[in-house]
């Protein structure tokens, strides 16, 4: 459905991210991750720059003011250290949605800059778009961008209907120690944890979400070499009689791996069509997906024909996110942790000499002591090398789990905090994925 908060539409071809379609600003570069899409421009001669960020939708608190404040705090106030309250617009309404925009000033590289956040709330979700710049000349661009926005009709497609464990002879969960190993999605797909992959089924179509594999995922500078290696490791051992094989991958900043052929299944003797696909996300979390159908025509009817560009692959790439399983309180008992590190070295333009290095690192550990109590520790270090600042935050309290959500008491300023939660299956275990309200994702591995 079209967002009725605006009255004009641009003629440019729409692009899509998550549940939002929009007209990309002409001449701006684009970068996409799982969590957001960013458009940016940097005019070195005029010393002007601008950035537009569309953030992945997240569950709404049911109030536009709360949704906006959460987005403003996460996107602008915290990273830019803005203390003053934003200058906000009146709330606009239409088509079941409410929209609110706030603007504030900050300093960037010893110069004045400003930021604005527009939040749209409706149908149980919140969508936010951020605009940052050091000049008002790009304001018409963000105005046109907002006016071009269309939002999909909201449907419940997440996995709400979860089967309890069914103990059969071939059930991989018999020795897994986890409560849930099957997810029934509302659109008819069913995911099941297997030893080397997650099997996703709908009718005659099978999709295998392969777990990370050191041999298949090993980096090679030539995409074709790594793709053929992945085919040999992940696909070839399970089939014979390869026919009509084609390698049609696209090497780019976010490459597309695509190979297909007709084969005979070794275990059944059945002739099938197989596509091996991978979206090489810039953050490195892409997975090889193996699509198995009776014929090539059946594959194309379900997922569309091959595309010769790096965009428009959502029907295939979105299957990766069906590696998703519910969480029970007993599943959590133990310590789960993750860490991140990044550094940036600056150089003088005139001399080429090093001007210093900044670094940042974080660690997050969640220890679930029982099926109802927890403690967590969050450590951070950032700054210029030689003058690093450290901080630590510890929380303790109770928690409750409801399959896809976990609520922890006694968080920041003593208030409770709600996370979306799910398990991602990996070989021999699970990754615990927690997402807080602003959209920060914590992918935590079992430490002990």
* 182 in any annotated domain: no
Give me the pLDDT at residue 63, please.
84
pLDDT at position 361 is 64
Task: Indicate whether 307 and 376 sit together in one domain.
Answer: no
Domain boundary among 301, 322, 343: 322
- Is 356 a domain residue? yes
Instruction: Give the residue from 322, 341, 361 where a domain finishes.
Output: 322
Contact indicator for 67, 126 with CB cutoff of 8 Å: yes
C-alpha 292/C-alpha 272 separation (Å) is 7
Task: Based on the fold, state whether residues 395 and 354 are members of the same structural domain.
Answer: yes
Q: pLDDT tens digits for 128-182?
A: 999 999 999 999 998 889 888 888 765 433 444 444 333 333 333 444 578 899 9
The CATH number assigned to the domain holding 125 equals 3.40.1000.10
Identify whether 165 is part of a domain.
Answer: no
Whether 137 and 28 map to the same domain: the answer is yes
Same domain? 309 vs 351: no
What's the average model confidence in pLDDT over 250-272? 92
pLDDT band at 379 (very low <50, low <70, confident <90, very high): confident
- Residue 172 within any structural domain of the chain: no
Please, what is the end-to-end C-alpha distance for the chain in angstroms?
Answer: 47
The pLDDT of residue 5 is above 60? no
CA 151/CA 18 separation, integer angstroms: 9
Verify that 296 and 195 share a domain, yes or no: yes
Q: Model confidence over 389-399: pLDDT tens digits?
A: 667 889 999 99
135 and 27 in a single domain? The answer is: yes
Under 8 Å CB-to-CB from 31, ≥6 apart: which residues?
Answer: 37, 38, 40, 282
Same domain, 352 and 272: no
Which pLDDT value is given to residue 349? 47
User: For the segment 303-359, what is each residue's pLDDT rounded down to a tens digit?
Assistant: 999 998 888 899 999 999 999 999 999 999 999 988 654 445 444 445 555 555 555
Could you tell me which of 383, 378, 388 has the C-alpha nearest to residue 408?
A: 378
Structure confidence at residue 90 as a pLDDT band (50, 70, 90): confident
pTM, two decimal places = 0.60
- Looking at the fold, whether 72 and 127 belong to one and the same domain comes out as yes
CB 300 within 8 A of CB 294: no
Q: Are residues 353 and 300 in the same domain?
A: no
Tell whether 333 and 273 lie within a shared domain: no
Token reading at 335:
């310590």
Expressed as residue numbers, the domain containing 376 is 329-446
Residue 296 C-beta-side C-alpha neighbours within 13 Å? 11
19 and 90 share one domain? yes
Residue 167 lies in a domain: no
Q: Which residue has the tokens 């008491």?
A: 409
Choose among 169, 157, 185: nearest CA to 325: 185
Q: For residue 142, count CB atoms less than 10 angstroms from its CB and return exposed for 0-12, middle for 13-18, buried for 19 or more.
A: buried
Q: Is residue 200 part of a domain?
A: yes
| CB contact set of 278 (below 8 Å; sequence gap of 6+) | 230, 256, 257, 286, 287, 288, 289
Give a yes or no: residue 207 inside a domain.
Answer: yes
Over 60: is that where the pLDDT of 385 sits? Answer: no
395 shares its domain with 426: yes
The answer to whether position 247 is within a domain reads yes
How many distinct structural domains can be found in the chain?
A: 3
Read off the CATH number of the domain in which 353 is found: 2.40.128
């Amino acid at each position: 459905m079209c967002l009725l908060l605006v009255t004009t539409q641009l003629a440019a071809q729409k692009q899509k991210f998550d549940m939002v379609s929009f007209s990309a600003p002409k001449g701006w570069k684009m970068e996409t991750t799982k969590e957001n899409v960013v458009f940016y421009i940097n005019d070195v001669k005029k010393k002007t720059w601008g950035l537009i960020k569309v953030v992945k939708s997240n569950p709404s608190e049911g109030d536009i003011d709360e949704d906006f404040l959460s987005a403003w705090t996460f996107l602008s106030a915290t990273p830019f250290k803005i203390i003053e309250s934003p200058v906000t617009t009146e709330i606009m309404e239409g088509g079941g949605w409410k929209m609110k925009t706030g603007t504030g000033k900050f300093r960037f590289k010893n110069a004045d800059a400003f930021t604005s956040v527009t939040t749209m709330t409706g149908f149980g979700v919140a969508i936010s778009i951020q605009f940052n710049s050091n000049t008002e000349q790009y304001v018409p661009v963000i105005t046109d961008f907002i006016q071009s926005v269309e939002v999909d009709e909201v449907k419940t497609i997440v996995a709400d209907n979860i089967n309890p464990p069914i103990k059969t002879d071939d059930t991989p969960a018999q020795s897994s120690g986890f409560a849930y190993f099957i997810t029934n999605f509302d659109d008819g797909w069913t995911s099941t944890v297997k030893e080397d992959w997650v099997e996703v089924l709908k009718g005659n179509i099978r999709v295998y979400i392969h777990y990370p594999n050191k041999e298949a995922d090993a980096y090679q500078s030539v995409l074709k070499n790594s793709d053929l290696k992945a085919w040999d490791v992940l696909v070839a051992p399970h089939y014979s009689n390869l026919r009509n094989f084609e390698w049609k991958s696209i090497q780019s900043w976010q490459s597309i791996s695509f190979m297909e052929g007709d084969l005979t299944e070794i275990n059944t003797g059945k002739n099938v069509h197989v596509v091996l696909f991978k979206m090489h996300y810039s953050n490195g979390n892409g997975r090889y997906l193996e699509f198995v159908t009776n014929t090539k025509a059946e594959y194309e009817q379900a997922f569309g024909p091959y595309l010769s560009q790096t965009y428009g692959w959502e029907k295939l790439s979105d299957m990766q996110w069906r590696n998703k399983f519910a969480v029970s309180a007993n599943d959590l008992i133990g310590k789960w942790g993750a860490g991140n590190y990044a550094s940036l070295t600056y150089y003088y333009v005139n001399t080429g000499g090093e001007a210093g290095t900044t670094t940042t690192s974080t660690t997050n550990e969640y220890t679930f002591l029982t099926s109802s109590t927890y403690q967590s520790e969050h450590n951070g270090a950032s700054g210029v090398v030689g003058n690093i600042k450290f901080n630590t935050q510890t929380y303790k309290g109770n928690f409750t789990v409801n399959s896809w959500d976990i609520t922890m008491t006694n968080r920041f300023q003593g208030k409770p905090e709600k996370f979306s939660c799910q398990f991602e299956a990996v070989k021999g275990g699970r990754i615990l994925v927690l997402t807080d309200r602003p959209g920060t994702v914590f992918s935590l591995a079992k430490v002990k």
